[in-house]
Structure 1
Amino acid sequence: MAYRLHFGEADLLRCRFAVSPLWETQEAVRTLARPERHGYQLPWLRRIRQATAGLDLTPLWLLMPQRGHTPDCLGPPPIGPSATFEEEIAAVRAADPVAARADIAQSLACTPGASDSPAGRAMLADPARAVREMAALLERAWRALVEPDWPRLRALLEADVAFHSRRLAEVGLEGLLGELNPRLAWSGDGRTLTIDRPGEHERTLGGQGLVLMPSVFCWPEVVSGFDPPWQPTVAYPARGIGGLWTRAAERTPESLARLLGRGRADVLCGLDEPASTSALAHGLGLAPSTVSEHLSVLRGSGLVVSRRYGHQVLYERTPLGIALSTAL
């Protein structure tokens, strides 16, 4: 059993990366439904316990079966490489009610009794209202669960994109897809991507190409199976999530802090993955101006370099910075 995506010549030229705050929100909601399966997120789960106290996610969970279809209309593939949550939730609210009803019915059918439950019947009877209510609930979930940590999450996701973009240039698409996750593999004909997942799904990309989307909250799954008219997409666990919720200051060697000063040492050790000034400030609990000053000194010393990614400037350690932060 597997999912298979069939490429044509045009598709090989139209593969791209994207980051989606709406997708992370949906997967955060799913994580709360089954927290025992998400060991990496335990610090986050403990921290947001109070934020979830007044948030009833039951209607969304009804449309998130353990195995089967989640409505694409509530979590469409990203509309751009750096779309905002507001742009993405607007696309959800604009869903066609007729298509949404079929989407919701397919999802409810995956959970025994869901279609005949009061909530399920209400969704099927008035899909336009169901979409409005689900969009409003997703927006509340975004505000409570994801938005407070979005600078840190976005930095990790963009660092993953930057890393794998370099690997794409070094090893090509075939090599890259094999590295993204062990569940992804090319077939012998070199035109079919096989995804090791329960169930069967076939899709010919038909010139649309493929969106590769790193995700913090989908771990340990690789997610695909989007049907037309949605853009073919593969969501995969991002690099570096194991240390995502650990403060950099907790990993800074005392000898390095004595050499550079505590603040600069914390900033250098916080760059396990490329990050922006705001993401580092959020993770370290420092003012952005303070982090900016430390980064300027570290860059002038040859320990970090900066480069632009979209609207942001990302910083990463140089080989000298890596050696210094890991040797002491």
Structure 2
Amino acid sequence: MAIMLRFGPADLLRCRFAVSPMLETLSAVRLLSPREGVGPHQRWLDTIDTRELDLRPIALLQPRRGYTPDFLSPPPAGPHTRFEDELAALAATDHDRVRAEVRRSLADNPGAAGSATGRLLLGEPALVLQTLVSLVEHVWRVLVEPVWPQVRGLLDADVGFQTRRLAEGGLDRLFAELHPRLRWNNGVLTREYGGDERRDLRGEGLVLVPSAFKWDQVVVIVDQPWQPTVIYPARGLGALWQPLSADRHRALGRLIGRTRTVLLLGLDEPASTTTLAHRHALAAGTVSEHLSVLRDAGFVAGERHRHEIRYRRTPLGEAVLRRNDSSGRPRP
């Protein structure tokens, strides 16, 4: 199962990058679901207070497996898109479209339409839209806007890095290491796992959107009104909430080295060498070398998953981090 996008000569000239504050806001809401893995975002989650937010309408329209209304996240115009502009585009959505896309989304979420929130969302489209616009704006103010400078810095750094790779070696160089789930071969970009679709771009080109909060997925959008789009986790995400220089794990960093400490901290969930390299903005060879040292020391172990090796912390690695959490320095 894979999604394949075939490029023609005109598509090679119509590839661009964009950033979407609205997409980050909706993705942040997803992370609050107990069904979602939080990955590198636990520190951010520990700082937020959602008691004044009723997230049920947005959560219900974002099924884990299924359709999320396209109108909730308008296509970003470019790398400098403002939240206010996206919110205005959301507020201007045609009411018939609101009705149709809400119904489609609820149909993909078993039992959702019969819930109190589902019945509310199936009501008068103008009122539903007004409710969603107000809620999305409130969510942005509470969850994302306070940390937007950090998140925006990460996204801008990714766009800058990927743009340089594109300038240096074209799409071959760009897609070679954009994300471990993406493969580029003979003019075809393939997203592995999930979905099964073949699409000739036919001159539409491709929009590439880095994301901080959609940390574990590569999403491909080919439905109108979007230009064909790939949303991928931003490079260097593993360091977003972990400024090690001001962290209580500094002592561990002095003991085993900063990079190995960052890698060990980042293994809250099993990950492959290529995933860790992308997440921490390191060369794959560098990550492999450090993982070998951590493995030999008994801090991590590797397990085969399909065609790759995924590393996890061992009980010893967990114990080392717990000891540093409790004392601020490693114990003998």
Same fold (TM > 0.5): yes
Matched, 1:223 2:219: yes
Aligned to 2:234: 238
Matched, 1:205 2:201: yes
Structure 1: segments with no counterpart, 5+ residues: 255-271, 274-328
Matched, 1:247 2:247: no
Residue 249 of structure 1 deviates from its aligned partner by 3.2
CA 1:193 to 1:158, structure 2 compared with 1: closer, same or farther past 3 Å? same
TM-score, with length taken from structure 2? 0.70
Residue 174 of structure 1 deviates from its aligned partner by 2.7
Aligned to 2:292: none
Residue 192 of structure 1 deviates from its aligned partner by 2.9
Task: Give the letter aligned to residue 41 of structure 1.
Answer: H
TM-score, with length taken from structure 1? 0.71
Structure 2: segments with no counterpart, 5+ residues: 252-279, 282-332
CA 1:201 to 1:130, structure 2 compared with 1: closer, same or farther past 3 Å? farther
Rounded to whole Å, the distance in 2 between the matches of 1:56 and 1:98 is: 25
Match among 112, 121, 124 for residue 123 of structure 1: 121
Residue 76 of structure 1 deviates from its aligned partner by 2.2
Task: Give the letter aligned to residue 168 of structure 1.
Answer: L
CA contact (8 A) 1:201 1:225 kept: no
1:64-86, CA deviations, whole angstroms, 9 ceiling, x for partnerless residues? 10111111100122122201100
Task: Give the letter aligned to residue 110 of structure 2.
Answer: P
Rounded to whole Å, the distance in 2 between the matches of 1:163 and 1:247 is: 20
CA contact (8 A) 1:29 1:57 kept: yes
Aligned to 2:167: 169
CA contact (8 A) 1:71 1:107 kept: yes
Residue 8 of structure 1 deviates from its aligned partner by 2.7
CA 1:202 to 1:152, structure 2 compared with 1: closer, same or farther past 3 Å? same
Structure 1 runs of 4+ aligned residues shifted over 3 Å read 201-204, 251-254
Rounded to whole Å, the distance in 2 between the matches of 1:17 and 1:2 is: 23
CA contact (8 A) 2:44 2:241 kept: yes
Matched, 1:26 2:26: yes
Aligned to 1:192: 188
Rounded to whole Å, the distance in 2 between the matches of 1:143 and 1:54 is: 12
Residue 62 of structure 1 deviates from its aligned partner by 0.4
Rounded to whole Å, the distance in 2 between the matches of 1:63 and 1:253 is: 42
1:196-242, CA deviations, whole angstroms, 9 ceiling, x for partnerless residues? 24123444433221110111010110112341122211110111111
1:105-135, CA deviations, whole angstroms, 9 ceiling, x for partnerless residues? 2211111122333332332332232222112
CA contact (8 A) 1:210 1:232 kept: yes
SS of the equivalent of 2:232 reads strand
Percent identity between the two aligned chains: 52
Aligned to 2:16: 16
5 Å matches for 1:1-328? 1-34=1-34, 36-48=36-48, 50=49, 52-187=50-185, 190-247=186-243, 249-250=245-246
Aligned to 2:263: none
Task: Give the letter aligned to residue 164 of structure 2.
Answer: R
Rounded to whole Å, the distance in 2 between the matches of 1:205 and 1:126 is: 37
How many equivalent pairs are there?
A: 252
Aligned to 1:308: none
